[in-house]
Structure 1
Amino acid sequence: MSARDEILARIRTATAGVSAPNSAIPAGSSPEDVVGLFAERVADYRATVVRCTPRTLRARLTAALPEGRVVVPDGLSVRLPDAVVDDGLSPAELDACAAVVTDATVGIAETGTIVLDHGPGQGRRAITLVPDVHVCIVRADQVVADVPDAMPRLDPAKPLTWISGPSATSDIELDRVEGVHGPRTLIVLLVG
């Protein structure tokens, strides 16, 4: 028996007779319910959620940005005239940026998770990890109920970054420290 088979056998034994947890999203929920749960769960992770319409997106985005240099990936869905388009900026150049703005691939309501596949509008992983503030644009039609609903929208051949709130870690005494492994602040612009 391989190690994989042994692990799977242990999981089957441990979960025998255990029913699956009820989804936080009742069957037949409307898309608005799913988007509302996504906003609630993202906020639970200490992220800021700003609801807006396509018409108010640019104004909300401008208001959400801190003072300083902003980096954006090539292909971002919103034009930011003063932003620096990442063309392979060095870690030091990225560290000098106050914020990054990206689009998302999918938002998962049940877990409050945003997934980036680093395609157009999302850029390379480094730009989402180095600046202190990450502003992520998620459109209502990108929000799905749960992880199984997200999987068909994702390409397993692409690098995927799953984001659930701002970067945080705790030390041995459980003191929470934010911004150690990525942005200290996550702002989600939820469009729709």
Structure 2
Amino acid sequence: MPDARTEILARVREALVGSAIDPVETVSPREGIAVATPELVDLFAERVADYRAVVERCSAEDLEDRIAAALPAGGVIVPPALSLRVADAVVDDGTLTAAELDLIAAVVTEARVGIAETGTIVLDHTPDQGRRAISLVPDTHICIVREDQVVADVPDAIALLDPARPQTWISGPSATSDIELDRVEGVHGPRTLHVLVVAVAR
């Protein structure tokens, strides 16, 4: 039995037969993705900081110390396959509820890609990033982005992402404004975003 997506696309194609609009086609991955040059990484860091996020550049050797210094009091949770050790962290096993996660002050995750043009970080929730809830509920998100994960723009990012996977696109701390333009942070996600941009050997 076809899944819902396949069935919907089949119906769209049937409805478009004989029309001037082409049916939906699968887009092939984009070729020629820009290499993460130092200038591209600088732009990424600048754009992330424009969103009122904390941005630090560091070496892989200094990463654990930078994470320890950035952690607030109140506990920390990490995804099951984080590539480094975070002292006293709870490793998420998928059983904690949103209410229980709300009692944990911080989360440390890795990222799938960083977009220089928009200052956006994308998670696709592989085991080094964990399930979506742990990156949205704790009040502080410490996110690790390697320099070689930075791409120029959104099309380059999309070319690297699997559309079948869940994705979270993060542009700064969670923030919203009411009709009087009063900014409120932390309503839909972490109030604090701390991005560690890690140098890689070239």
TM-score normalised by the shorter chain: which range applies? Answer: 0.7 to 0.9
Question: Structure 1's 29 and 82: CA in aligned 2 closer, same or farther, altered over 3 A?
Answer: closer
Give secondary structure in 2 for the equivalent of 1:138.
strand
What aligned pairs does 1:34-45 form with structure 2 within 5 A after superposition? 34-45=40-51
**TM-score, structure 1 length as denominator?**
0.84
Selected match of 2:169 from 156, 162, 166: 162
**TM-score, structure 2 length as denominator?**
0.80
Query: Distance in 1 between the 2:99 and 2:155 partners?
Result: 38
Structure 1 stretches of at least 4 aligned residues deviating more than 2 Å after TM superposition: none
Aligned-residue CA RMSD (Å): 1.8
Judge conservation of contact 2:36–2:148 (CA < 8 Å) in 1.
Answer: no
Matched letter for residue 92 of structure 1: A
Counterpart of 2:136 in structure 1 is 129
Counterpart of 2:29 in structure 1 is none
Question: Structure 1's 93 and 157: CA in aligned 2 closer, same or farther, altered over 3 A?
Answer: same
Question: Structure 1's 29 and 154: CA in aligned 2 closer, same or farther, altered over 3 A?
Answer: closer
Task: Structure 2: state its 5+ residue gaps.
Answer: 1-11, 22-33
For each residue in 1:78-100, what CA deviation from the matched residue of structure 2 results, as whole angstroms up to 9, or x when unmatched? 11131001112111210110000
Counterpart of 2:69 in structure 1 is 63
Give secondary structure in 2 for the equivalent of 1:182.
coil
Query: Distance in 2 between the 1:61 and 1:153 partners?
Result: 27
Matched letter for residue 42 of structure 2: G
Query: Distance in 2 between the 1:138 and 1:86 partners?
Result: 20
Matched letter for residue 81 of structure 1: A
Selected match of 1:81 from 68, 76, 87: 87
Task: Structure 1: state its 5+ residue gaps.
Answer: 10-27
Question: Structure 1's 58 and 188: CA in aligned 2 closer, same or farther, altered over 3 A?
Answer: same
Query: Distance in 1 between the 2:36 and 2:105 partners?
Result: 37
Selected match of 1:94 from 89, 92, 101: 101
Counterpart of 1:48 in structure 2 is 54
Counterpart of 1:180 in structure 2 is 187
Identical counterparts, % of pairs = 71
Selected match of 1:103 from 110, 123, 140: 110
Query: Distance in 1 between the 2:36 and 2:131 partners?
Result: 34
